[in-house]
Structure 1
């Protein structure tokens, strides 16, 4: 009888205990597997889940190109995440205009702007509304392998012009060393070469005019010359054998294994190459970084940079708890840890001085000296034109399109987008 009363009492007590409704927050990120990023993300998520009973955050990772291709469909489905990675730019603007994103409340924006980078916040804003929080600033530059440079008897830091770089490519070829590795199958790594050449040839004013459809838009002598210089480079066979069948992850693994003299890639590659390499990757002492060189007669400056300001944005379906997590996920403490551990170059001003990694410091210096920062062209110009830039970069690399035809196609795409 006594046991029955105890059981009845326990049942009554359990019935009286309020049940905490479970809120699930799904975050979709580009591939961070086997990189320092994932370790940081996992720790932030675990801490948040432990300190917020009733809320479970899950981060899902997707390879970059798959992410770009599948996200539009996901955003229109019941499987849309609560937040996702964004490179900002034209694709982000399209998502905001199409109603797929959720604007942050004004009071949240005002509070976040006290701690987070104003420039980074602005990168994730559109038409006066803010949709997310910034994470990292990124720049693309030329990495070089010091061991292979010494073996070849060259000094990449002496490269000042495009012709200087091509001359060193020839030295590498003659010495039996692959000049560059690239993930041609993904196309976007190839677009860095074409983008930089266009920037160096026409400068900021020319790039702005192209975007506005002035001076022929993309169908002008400067874009044709950028394509011609790019093809001149391609004809030297600067990449590893079968480069069009290799994706970014495979190419950065080759770089990490010391398989090339150069690598044109962003600062995020520090962790990515080590995660993809078979032997842990190159040490900082084995690598150096130089800016993309000038093109003779060009209107650009060597201090003009290409890159991005990325972060995470909220979708229209996001729960209120997603805002709480976003502030922690992209918050000051997480970015300070990222800076001190060499994960990435943070956008939070108070974290910038904590960057100690010697390679990331070189990238930070390039960014700090920037006279004009151009967002990745495949993101800046939106999905149609940005995709076309990637496509022609790959098609010129395979000889399937001429520089003239590429310029015409880009302008046609700009007119009809």
Structure 2
């Protein structure tokens, strides 16, 4: 799922106390696909607080209310889960309820007939569908059919800036790409890096392309890539976006040595809150860590935020955003009918409740629940939470992070080529050609 509460791509230790075979048995594998030893449904979740606690409490509450249809819960670290679920699904021993990131991985599950079509489930539970942000369903949909339930919280990519530094140079946050480029020499002359970037992590670089593709080519540009349209990566709007990001690199827009800075260590955030960088494009999940680690940077009102700048002449809707639209749970197509019945009841009644919505808000997240912003009052972060809520709920489109939306093969190639693009060892056309080859494969 979207582990927004630490870092989006935190590197967790791959450590399980028991071998894989024993792990599968402990999750009900010996009792049949998606079934616990007692015949009920199974559910896997990811570890890491406070998310793990909220997920566990939801299952406990459901089990207490449904003693005849309880879920058997197992939890795994992020990287361990990714390895384990591939083996489990391939062996037809997946849990009944499967955490998924949606997008390309879910599409693979659908193509292999490993997950249940939930379109009729949402027809029968229209109230649940109406309760959730409509923008969250795109990453759960394959060929106009819904295969996963959106849930938990939203994490758009946000343009952060240091208000104090902007006041010192007498500038305003950029609203257009031209304004952003014009600010680069202003901050360089002031001895400040215009933009922080944890380039060693590579997925941080990707966020710049996601927004530029959207602002220049509109949502349909990446849709053509996602749909596998031949030549999509080489379209003029694509080359324009790739060229603009290299223009920013060449102008000295990013902090010196950005290719050696890691996002997982929060070093990029530190550059912003210590005043060594003026701006940063990052996931909304970093707000909490900057509040914790940045002294009075957040609580003292020094942190600013806004939407990504528009591009003059671009086709994109300025309200559109990118990032992680939601968390997602799919259901194993191999589970018994008994297990599926219990799982559907939980997905309909236990996954998204008033209690879980409150818990996500209390943890600092923005639930993908329509009207959940009514719960922000009284929070010292109410302005921030409302900004994220509005950004996600009012977005014309919410483009899923590319490394989740694309197939695993294409996503790996993307990160490899992005490193070259930002390192200026590859031209925009060479990037496009490499991605065309990877997408065709």
Distance 1:71 1:252, change over 3 A: farther
Match of 1:394 in 2: 419
Q: Deviations over 1:254-286 (max 9, x none)?
A: 3685454222123333335456x3759733833
Q: Deviations over 1:162-201 (max 9, x none)?
A: 1211332333333333433333333222111012112222
Contact 2:321 2:397 survives alignment (8 Å): yes
Contact 2:58 2:351 survives alignment (8 Å): no
1:92 equivalent in alignment to 2:75: no
1:148 equivalent in alignment to 2:165: yes
Specify which of 183, 188, 195 is matched with residue 210 of structure 2. Answer: 195
Q: Deviations over 1:102-156 (max 9, x none)?
A: 34494x5344331242734564243465433212344222012223333444321
Distance 1:332 1:55, change over 3 A: closer
Contact 1:340 1:355 survives alignment (8 Å): yes
Within 5 A, what are the aligned runs for 1:37-116?
37-48=51-62, 55-62=71-78, 72-73=86-87, 75-76=89-90, 80-104=94-118, 106=120, 108-116=121-129
Contact 1:202 1:298 survives alignment (8 Å): yes
TM-score, normalising length: structure 2: 0.73
> Any gaps of 5 or more consecutive residues in structure 2?
1-36
Match of 1:347 in 2: 368
Q: Secondary structure at the match of 1:102?
A: coil
Q: Secondary structure at the match of 1:400?
A: coil
Shift, 1:28, TM fit: 3.7
1:224 equivalent in alignment to 2:235: no
Contact 1:256 1:280 survives alignment (8 Å): no
Q: Secondary structure at the match of 1:139?
A: strand
Within 5 A, what are the aligned runs for 1:314-333?
314-316=331-333, 319-320=339-340, 321-327=342-348, 330-333=351-354
Task: Tell me the distance in 1 between the aligned counterparts of 2:322 and 2:117.
Answer: 27
Shift, 1:24, TM fit: 8.0
> Any gaps of 5 or more consecutive residues in structure 1?
1-19
1:288 equivalent in alignment to 2:304: yes
Shift, 1:88, TM fit: 2.3
Task: Tell me the distance in 2 between the aligned counterparts of 1:208 and 1:75.
Answer: 28
1:265 equivalent in alignment to 2:282: yes
Task: Tell me the distance in 1 between the aligned counterparts of 2:286 and 2:322.
Answer: 15
Q: Secondary structure at the match of 1:238?
A: coil
TM-score, normalising length: structure 1: 0.77
Task: Tell me the distance in 1 between the aligned counterparts of 2:242 and 2:119.
Answer: 45
Specify which of 167, 182, 186 is matched with residue 182 of structure 2. Answer: 167
Task: Tell me the distance in 2 between the aligned counterparts of 1:228 and 1:237.
Answer: 14
Match of 1:184 in 2: 199
Task: Tell me the distance in 2 between the aligned counterparts of 1:328 and 1:147.
Answer: 47
Contact 1:103 1:131 survives alignment (8 Å): yes
Larger radius of gyration: 1
Contact 2:204 2:263 survives alignment (8 Å): no
Q: Superposition RMSD on alpha carbons, in Å? A: 3.7
Residues matched between the structures, number: 388
